[in-house]
Amino acid sequence: MFQAIYTASFLMAWGGNLLGISLSLFLAQIKQSGPFIIGLAGFTGNFIYTIVTFLLSRHHLKNNTIFIYTTIAIGISYFLILFSPVPIIFVILLLGGIFYAVFWPSIQSCFVATNDDLKIGIYNLFWSAGVILGTFSSGFIYSFSPYAPFFVTLSLSIIAFCVLISKKNHLSALNAVPLQDKNKEQISPVLVKEIRMLNFLHFFAWSAIFYLYPKLGLLRKFSPQFIGTVIGTLLISRFVTFFLLMDKPLILHPARFIISCLFFFISCLLIGLGSHTFIILTAAIVMGITGAFSYHNSLLMHIKYNLKTEIHECVIGAGLFAGSLVAGLLGQILNLPVAYTIIGTFTLLVGLLYSRHYLFGLTKRKVN
Query: Which residues fall within 8 angstroms of residue 353, CB to CB, at 6 or more apart?
Result: none
Q: What is the pLDDT of residue 337?
A: 92
Q: How far apart are CA 14 and CA 156, in angstroms?
A: 8
The answer to whether residues 291 and 235 touch, using CB atoms and an 8 Å cutoff, is no
CA-closest candidate to residue 323, choices 342, 307, 305, 309? 342
Q: What is the pLDDT of residue 286?
A: 94
3-state secondary structure at position 241: helix
The domain tally of the chain equals: 1
Q: What is the pLDDT of residue 38?
A: 80
Query: Which residues fall within 8 angstroms of residue 59, CB to CB, at 6 or more apart?
Result: none
First-to-last C-alpha distance (Å) of the chain: 58
The answer to whether residues 110 and 65 touch, using CB atoms and an 8 Å cutoff, is no
Q: How far apart are CA 223 and CA 325, in angstroms?
A: 24
Which whole-number Å values give the CA distances from 28 to 23, 35, 134, in the listed order?
A: 8, 8, 19
Q: How far apart are CA 272 and CA 28, in angstroms?
A: 18
C-alpha angle 128/186/116, rounded to 5°?
40
How is residue 64 annotated by DSSP? T
Q: What is the mean pLDDT of each run of 10 residues along the chain (368 residues)?
A: 89 91 85 80 82 85 80 94 92 93 88 78 92 84 92 96 86 59 68 94 90 83 81 87 88 88 94 89 94 92 85 90 86 91 95 82 64
- Count Cβ atoms within 10 A of the Cβ of residue 86 and give its class: 0-12 exposed, 13-18 middle, 19 or more buried: middle
Q: What is the pLDDT of residue 70?
A: 94
Say how many C-beta atoms besides its own lie within 10 A of residue 7's C-beta: 17
Q: What is the pLDDT of residue 181?
A: 45
Q: Domain with 249 in it: what CATH number?
A: 1.20.1250.20
Helix extents (H) in the chain: 2-29, 35-56, 67-79, 86-109, 117-144, 148-165, 168-176, 189-219, 224-245, 256-273, 277-304, 309-333, 336-354, 356-367
Structural domain for 187, as ranges: 2-367
Q: What is the pLDDT of residue 63?
A: 66
Q: What is the pLDDT of residue 182?
A: 43
Helix extents (H) in 177-223: 189-219
Question: Cα-Cα-Cα-Cα dihedral of 287, 290, 292, 297, to 10°?
Answer: -150
